[in-house]
Amino acid sequence: MNIGNFSARKVSRRSVVAAVAATALALTGCTSGGDDKPAEKPAGPVTIKVWAWYPEFQGVVDNFNATHTDIKIEWTNAGTGQDQYTKLQTALKAGKGAPDVAMLELQEIPTFALTKHLVDLGKYGANDVKGDYVEWAWKQVSSGDQVYAIPVDAGPMAMMYREDIFKKYGLTVPKTWDEYKQQAEKLKTASAGKSFITDFGANDGGFMSGLFWQAGAQPYNYDLANPTSIGVNVNSAEAKKVIEYWEGMVNAGLADTTAFHTTDFYNGLGSEKYATYLAAGWGPGYIQANAAKSSGKWKVAPLPQWVAGENKQGDWGGSSFAVTDQAKYPDVAAKVAMELFGAKNTEAWKIGIDKAFLFPTATPVLESDTFKNKQYDFFGGQKVNEVFVPAYNAIGPFSWSPFNSYNFNQLTTNINQAIEKKTSWTAALDTAQANVKTYATQQGFKVQ
């Protein structure tokens, strides 16, 4: 029971520790302190606790420990996504039990940074590795010289398609969303409604945000340098364009609406139900694991464009390493965050690329010949990164809100309900906008 810790939540964590250690008198004296000064290091190797849920991560950790005599990583898989975040939020709030280094998805960084529990890695040389990353990726993890996390992997979007289905029904690979719709209509007629062009997973906020991102929408205008003010524009014209398009696709029976990451969805990918899957850079590993039956039948093409000839791209997912304020040696933890999947750590990326199917963010890694020329049996020997890498490089900036769970919740809940009740999707987006604005105001933000 953490009653003691919770009731003292208004008082800073350091104060609680001091109060327990000494007397109540200490409470007033410790509001300012030498936070930046790292503690004295022990004689042996420094132990750094890491929370992450990357597949095949043990190999990366073993490799790191084998090549570092002064640092020993202790890795824990504390759950995937929200499961880990819940544990991490609780531990950060309680003031103990959090790891030194934690895996955070890119969209979660402002949420955690706002709580002031993330260490500014800029103080520990993170800006030196800035050059290893393209601009949009670095912007996801930083504000000016403040660096909240080190990027690891990303999810540039592309279109995976079933070559066999395309051949069977005489479809051509669409270059624009208009062409995509035409092919969808052709497929519906030719297959007598048996196949859909794709599945629109309205239960995945990251997926929908990726499509908004490509269309140039900026749902939030938020900078951690000015953390109390936020611009909310969830129902922008660009977002509405995307939503209206998919509303039309679904209502015409061209796209299915089975929830992503469910058995029915995986079966749809493995059978002939879906002709395309709008995927992210981590998609090859994901689809290979969940639709093994369809191996060799897939190909990857760039995401269709809104305007013919343009090269607009979006990102869906991706992650980073952040250092928490519970790290005893933040300088060592920062080193771990920078090196674990760093640009120079080719051994780690060998595992990351070949076994875990991560899409690297570090330019030297993703521009390397081994990555670009890697052939994927699942895609009939296609060098799929020839599609994903240019897509990654063309992604524009995009900012997330410091309450991303609420953001994704509003997006998915309202769109899903519009699908269920067959009501207007754009009205659903308006509802999301109104709710987010109310929420942000309630939370004390100046909403613009």
Q: Judged by CB under 8 A, does residue 80 bind other proteins?
A: no
Q: Judged by CB under 8 A, does residue 9 bind other proteins?
A: yes
Nearest CA among 302, 288, 303, 289 for reference residue 380:
288
Instruction: Please calculate the CA angle 142-146-147 and round it to the nearest 5 degrees.
Output: 50
Pick the binder of other proteins from 86, 226, 311, 370 (CB under 8 A): 86
Pick the binder of other proteins from 320, 412, 431, 433 (CB under 8 A): 412
- The answer to whether the Cα torsion of 108, 110, 114, 120 is positive or negative is positive
d(CA 339, CA 341): 6
Contact 188, 253 (CB under 8 A): yes
Q: Judged by CB under 8 A, does residue 409 bind other proteins?
A: yes
* Cβ distance to other proteins smaller for residue 50 or 411: 411
Start-to-end Cα distance in the chain: 41
Q: Judged by CB under 8 A, does residue 189 bind other proteins?
A: no
* Cβ distance to other proteins smaller for residue 88 or 391: 88
Task: Please count the residues of this chain forming the interface with other proteins, following the rule CB under 8 A.
Answer: 40
Q: Judged by CB under 8 A, does residue 6 bind other proteins?
A: yes
Only segment of 71-79, 127-135, 263-271, 346-354 that touches other proteins (CB under 8 A): 263-271
d(CA 404, CA 412): 12
Q: Judged by CB under 8 A, does residue 191 bind other proteins?
A: no
Only segment of 101-109, 256-264, 298-306, 324-332 that touches other proteins (CB under 8 A): 256-264
Q: Judged by CB under 8 A, does residue 405 bind other proteins?
A: yes
Nearest CA among 383, 375, 385, 185 for reference residue 275:
185
Q: What is the three-class DSSP state of 187?
A: helix
Crossing angle for the helix pair 263-270 and 283-290, to the nearest 10 degrees:
90
d(CA 12, CA 114): 15
Phi-psi region of 329 (alpha: psi -120 to 50; beta: other; left: phi over 0): beta
Interactions with other proteins, residue window 225-244 (CB under 8 A): 227-228
Q: Judged by CB under 8 A, does residue 3 bind other proteins?
A: yes
Q: How far is the CB of 47 from other proteins (least distance, A)?
A: 29
Q: Judged by CB under 8 A, does residue 394 bind other proteins?
A: no
Q: What is the three-class DSSP state of 104?
A: strand
- The answer to whether the Cα torsion of 10, 15, 20, 22 is positive or negative is negative
Interactions with other proteins, residue window 101-130 (CB under 8 A): 114
Pick the binder of other proteins from 203, 218, 319, 385 (CB under 8 A): 203
Only segment of 44-52, 70-78, 284-292, 437-445 that touches other proteins (CB under 8 A): 437-445
* Cβ distance to other proteins smaller for residue 232 or 389: 232
Q: Which residues are near other proteins by CB under 8 A?
A: 1, 3, 6-7, 9-10, 82, 86, 89, 114, 202-203, 227-228, 259, 261-264, 267-268, 271, 402-403, 405-406, 409, 412-413, 415-421, 442-445
